[in-house]
Every structure is written in structure tokens, then in C-alpha cells.
Structure 1
Amino acid sequence: MMRILVATDAWHPQVNGVVRSLEATIAELRALGVEVEMITPQGFRSVALPTYPGIRLALAGRRALSARLAALRPDHVHIATEGPIGLAARAACLREGRPFTTSYHTQFPDYLAARLPVPRDLVYAALRWFHNAGCGTMVATESLTEDLGKRGFRRLMRWSRGVDATLFHPRAASILDLPRPIFLYVGRVAVEKNVEALLELDLPGSTVIVGDGPARAGLQARYPKAHFLGNRTGELLARTYASADVFVFPSRTDTFGIVLLEALASGLPVAAYPVPGPKDVIATSGAGVLDADLFTACHAALKIPNACARAHALRFTWRESARQFLDNVTTARSGHDGVTCRNAQAFAR
């Protein structure tokens, strides 16, 4: 039995796509007979992330990570994030010659640019340094693979996402007693998510925002007609999806967007910009409308049958996502890629 250690800065109580991806993939890996251990911020002292107090950064050092690695004795290490735990795990693996892969979940160059005057090229250089030292970097979509490849990222591997179609499905009863049609957003309420682009639209019916984040208070004050419901998870979130008419995804910076699949599985057509993430998930399926004019996309999406949205979502499963992840780990550890990995690690030192 293979033992994989996943090191991640993103974990509970955070509510985001990275946490959901790891949670679902790890559950399926264990169902496939893989032993999975984790190193998360739990058990470390932490500090609040500047400009985003809802996210805590673990104060994890290389020695502490090395001790945990030695105790857990994994066959392979996967580093999911580029934060303090990821950096410490990377340093420990390089020092000890352990094979490891990474995953690219977040477009930090765009996120930082939305908050601070940091040159994108500088951020990409730091990310290349982090990821290229491993045996492979897992990315969610073809668009992201092409973009990162052009930017000098090497050994890129596809790792798609899935959806729990048993939890997220169409329902007859609505829990939102609001004027129709209902346009729904689910996700972090932060500047990089571009939620204001939705709130600025003069849409009929009701606009509902599910999620929390540093921009929520300001947006809620400026757009009092919108309905801000805060974070919702599990059954309540699933019933909220199924109570809406269109799912609106205004982000231009996401690498995938698991919420897209959750909405589609719930029978919600998608309205979004024609950018990476939505382009990869929706493509030519007819399950959503991608348009540079988000208002146009919202109205056109109302005409899409719920069954079409649901059928497209069923193509994405967490079991297949876990198999892709495991195949990537196996490939990274074997044959020519093993040699490449050792050469990369020697260079990274």
C-alpha cells in the first residue's frame, strides 16, 4: 500500500475550493486503498494573513516538518500550497532527497495585483522557483497548463476536479422566498473574485451572495438590494443552489471553480466571462453562457434547461479526479521522471 503525505496551508476552518478539492480527493484515495497522512496548520501556532484575517498562516519551520516527515515515513509527499507549510515541506524534501509533487491552485500573481503594486513577473518567478523543484506540478485545466508552460513551468500534470452529485442535485422545493429569477453567487467575497461585477448589473428578480470575506461588509453596504447570506455548507448549501435559477461566476482569476460543478449538478446553468476556468468547465457543452457582457450571459443562461446543466456536471467525478492524482504520483516517481525529479531537486538546492 502506498503512503502519501499531503502538506497544505489550506485546511479547516477555511472554506474554499482548495480545501474542498483536497478533502474529496483524499477521501477517494483512501477508498482506493491508498494511505494518506496530512500536515495542516492544525497543531502549529499561526498569524492572520495580512489584508485577509479570516485566513491563518501556520508558523511551521523546516525542522518541525522534517520531524513529522520522519515520523510518518511517506512514500511520496504532495505539497498542495505555497504558504509556510508548503515552503517548509519543500525545503525538508530537498534536503532529504524525498520525491515530491506540487499543485497550482491559485493565481497569486492576479490576487496580489488586485491588492498591492507587486509586479506579476516577480511573483511568477517565485512560483516557478517553488514548483519546478518538484517531480511534477498538478494543474486543473488545459488553459492553465498552456499558460504556465509558456511562463517556464515544467513537468505539468493534469488533475481535474469532481462534484458530489448525490449531495448537489435539483430539488422540487425552494428555500429562497425571493422574487424570481434568482441569480446566485457562491464563493469568497474578496476583491479578486470580482463580485462587484455581478452586483452592478441591473438584473430582474433577486441577486443572492453566499460566502464571506474581507470585501463583504463594504459590498453589502453599497448594494443593499442584494441578499448576502454568509457562508453555507453541506445540505444547506446544496438546497440554496437548487433554489436559484442561474449561477453567476464573475471571477476572471480562478484556475477552475469547483462551485461551477456544484451549481451545474444542482441544475443551475452558468453565466460567466469567457476566461480560463469557465472556458474549461463549460466549453461547448451548452450548460452555460460565456460572454464578455455578463448581463447578456445572465439573461441567456435563463433559457438553458436544468437537465442540460445536470448532465454536464455528471461527467466530473471525484473518483476520476483521485485516479488522475494517483497516476500523476506514480508517473512522477517512476522511470525517466524519477531521474528528472532528482536532477530538478539537485538544481533547486
Structure 2
Amino acid sequence: MRIAIATDAWFPQVNGVVRTLAATVAELDRRGYEVELITPQNFATMPMPGYASIRLAMAPRFTTRRMLGRFKPDVVHIATEGPIGWSARGWCKSHGVPFTSAFHTQFPKYAAVRTGLSEDVFWPVMRRFHRSSRAVLAATPSLEVELRERGIKQVRPWGRGVDHWLFRPTGELHEAIANLPKPILLNVGRVAPEKNLEAFLDANLPGSKVIVGDGPDLDRLKALYPKVHFIGALAGEELAAAYRTADCFVFPSLTDTFGLVVVEALSSGVPVAAYPVQGPIDILGPNGRGTGKEMPATVGVCDDDLEHAVLKALTLDRSAAAVFGQRFSWERATDQFVAAITAARMEVQSRSDHELALV
């Protein structure tokens, strides 16, 4: 099967969308699928207003259509609702090629945080974008429910995985972080207003607060919180070392659809503290033991009182967290992705065969 993947988020960006797509493409390649990537690297780009490190493709319509026309995909997966995503959507509709899409990012909530408007203002655009998609892939059950309630009905599950070799509980520690006063309270991710980092940074907690990541809010938060240790963006073994050096991973976001960093922390043997919202609650469950088959031990805490969640998480068993993190695999997640795109292709093929039979 020839699969084109169109995305406005790609390297050198470092975020959950990029890591998810990169891991999925690697697994698709291993399985023998022919994949064409359409990313900002194929275009002249400009910085996203208010977020200079994210580059948006400039006038991508012609090049996107030319690439898709040349590749002749059996199905297209559109990962983002940006300029490349809209261009790929237009090509698919005009050429009768089936496409799936994904709801990686809570754009309405992010836009509400940045503009002060209600998120309801932005949902009509989301409904329009995904309306013609054969399947809208969602990372968690709670996101599936929300999308259906918002009028996006054709939802299918697409979970997430973790690189268990990289994010493991054994290995070297991050030297600079390891020398800080204990306990080490870590957050990894984009340093941006929608991540609600100030809820963590304002919390009255012992030890050292460490932020790993970059983003448009970095300079402001550095100035406001001089006692917090801002390490900058890390990757690979250095990022893995930062995880395993921590005593607790603190995830204050209220707007993430999943939170890939949560399962990376768990796989590294680090208990998690978070709010009981979409993403963390789907991963950890209401009792901190996950959903479905229960774990014998609590591996994280979801609580409206973030300070209480952190203090309780610091008492949890690190080995249990690592065992729980092993549940998340890119092989299983890619099985779900392949099932969705295969169904989209077969639906269109079945319809074409039926129409030919009537001739």
C-alpha cells in the first residue's frame, strides 16, 4: 500500500506529534509499506506568529498537489490542520483519494488560551476540516468521546508507544540534574502558555524544579522563576538520562490530548503527578493504576490539588512505574493506524467495485 502522510509538524520541531509520526513511519517502513512524507522541509517556511521555532509552509498548495500527484497514494493520512494539511485535504477531495486525519492537538483550547476567546469559537473550523475524513484518529477514549460530542463522529483509536530501549529505568543519570537538591521534580515539553507550567512552578514543594524544553514562554518564565532550573531542549540519551534522574514527573497541562512525555517518564521508572484531565486520566486512570486490567501498584496520581499529587507520587514505587510504561508500544499503536487507513481504502474500493458492477 502506498501511504502519503501530510503534516505541518516535523523536525526540527520536538513535540509529541513529531515523535509519534516519526515512530509510526519507522514502523511502517519496517513492515514494507511505501510512505511519502509531505512536511515543512519540502517548502519555503515562515515562523509561526508568537512561536518562532515552529515554521509554517508558505503557499504549499501547488507543491503539495504536485507531490501527491507524482506519488499516487492509495490513501493519505493528514496529521495536522495547518497549511499543508488543508492543501492535502483539497487534493484528496478533488481526486477522489481517501484520507484519514488525526486530532493530535487541542487547537481550540490552545487558541482559547492565547486569544481569550471561548474554545467554542474554533470548533466549527475543526468540524469542517475533519468532515470528509474516512477516520479521525484519537489517542484516548476521553478524546474520542469529546470529538463525537463536538460533531466529529467517524472516530477511531490510535494509541501511543514509547521507545523502551531509550526510556528505561537503568542507565546513566543526567549529571547536572543529579547534583541538585532532592527531590527532583521534572517537567519535559514545550514551554508555552497552554502547558500551564505556572501551576507547577507556583506550587509549594520541596526539592528542585527542573524544566526541560524550549518555547515562546521560556524567557518570561526564567525571569519570573529564577530558582527554577531551565535546562533547555534535550534529546536522545541526554533526555532519557534527565527522566531517570527525576524523582517525580509533574505534568500540569490541562489541554493535551495524550501526553507522550507521561509514558516516557513512566517507562523510565518515574511516577507521575498530574491533574485529572484528558490525557493523564486516560493513561493513569482515576486510581493511578491505569485503565482496563489493573496494576498491582499505583504508578501516578491525578488530583485537582497538584501539590498533593506530587507529594503522594514521591512515595510510589519506581519499579512499578517502569513495568506500567512497558504497556505502551509503537507496534500496537501502528497496528491501529494501519487498521484505520486500510479500512478507509477498502471502503472506497468496495464502493468503486459496486459502481462498476452496476454498469
1:5 paired residue number: 4
Residue 4 of structure 1 aligns to a residue in which SS?
strand
Q: Are positions 1:304 and 2:316 aligned together?
A: yes
Q: Distance in 1 between matches of 2:250 and 2:236?
A: 20
Alignment of 1:66-85 (within 5 A): 66-85=65-84
1:324 paired residue number: 336
Q: Measured at CA, do residues 336 and 84 of structure 1 come closer, stay the same or move farther in structure 2, by a change above 3 Å? A: closer
Instruction: Tell me which amino acid in the other structure corresponds to 2:128.
Output: W
Q: Measured at CA, do residues 323 and 20 of structure 1 come closer, stay the same or move farther in structure 2, by a change above 3 Å? A: same
Residue 86 of structure 1 aligns to a residue in which SS?
helix
Instruction: Tell me which amino acid in the other structure corresponds to 2:159.
Output: S
Report the alpha carbon displacement of residue 317 of structure 1 after superposing the two structures with TM.
Answer: 0.2
Q: Distance in 1 between matches of 2:130 and 2:333?
A: 21
Report the alpha carbon displacement of residue 203 of structure 1 after superposing the two structures with TM.
Answer: 1.0
1:87 paired residue number: 86
2:357 paired residue number: none
Alignment of 1:132-171 (within 5 A): 132-171=131-170
Q: Distance in 2 between matches of 1:133 and 1:39?
A: 20
2:293 paired residue number: none
CA contact (8 A) 1:249 1:273 kept: yes
Tell me how many residue pairs correspond in the alignment. Answer: 339
Q: Distance in 1 between matches of 2:136 and 2:235?
A: 29
Q: Measured at CA, do residues 136 and 337 of structure 1 come closer, stay the same or move farther in structure 2, by a change above 3 Å? A: farther
Residue 295 of structure 1 aligns to a residue in which SS?
helix
1:205 paired residue number: 207
Q: Measured at CA, do residues 102 and 309 of structure 1 come closer, stay the same or move farther in structure 2, by a change above 3 Å? A: same
Residue 230 of structure 2 aligns to a residue in which SS?
strand
1:343 paired residue number: none
Cα deviation per residue 1:39-62 (whole Å; 9 max; x = unaligned)? 001121111111111111101433
Q: Distance in 1 between matches of 2:117 and 2:351?
A: 36
2:224 paired residue number: 222
2:46 paired residue number: 47
Alignment of 1:137-286 (within 5 A): 137-171=136-170, 173-174=172-173, 175=175, 176=177, 177-283=179-285, 284=287, 285=289, 286=298
Residue 18 of structure 2 aligns to a residue in which SS?
helix
Instruction: Tell me which amino acid in the other structure corresponds to 1:334.
Output: M
Instruction: Tell me which amino acid in the other structure corresponds to 1:301.
Output: A
Q: Identity, % of aligned pairs?
A: 50
Q: Distance in 2 between matches of 1:142 and 1:53?
A: 33
TM-score by length of 1: 0.94
Cα deviation per residue 1:205-261 (whole Å; 9 max; x = unaligned)? 100000011111111111111100000000000001000100000000000000001
Alignment of 1:15-34 (within 5 A): 15-34=14-33
Residue 114 of structure 1 aligns to a residue in which SS?
helix
Report the alpha carbon displacement of residue 74 of structure 1 after superposing the two structures with TM.
Answer: 1.2
CA contact (8 A) 2:43 2:60 kept: no
Instruction: Tell me which amino acid in the other structure corresponds to 2:89.
Output: R
CA contact (8 A) 2:171 2:241 kept: no
CA contact (8 A) 2:74 2:345 kept: no
Residue 12 of structure 1 aligns to a residue in which SS?
coil
Cα deviation per residue 1:259-286 (whole Å; 9 max; x = unaligned)? 0011000000000000010001111412
Greater relative contact order, per chain length (Cα 8 Å cut-off, separation 6+): 1
Instruction: Tell me which amino acid in the other structure corresponds to 2:300.
Output: G
Specify every segment of 5 or more residues in structure 1 that has no aligned partner in the other structure, as ranges. Answer: 341-349
TM-score by length of 2: 0.92
Specify every segment of 5 or more residues in structure 2 that has no aligned partner in the other structure, as ranges. Answer: 290-297, 353-359
Residue 249 of structure 2 aligns to a residue in which SS?
strand
> How large is the RMSD of aligned CA atoms in angstroms?
1.5
Q: Measured at CA, do residues 105 and 30 of structure 1 come closer, stay the same or move farther in structure 2, by a change above 3 Å? A: same
Q: Distance in 2 between matches of 1:119 and 1:244?
A: 36
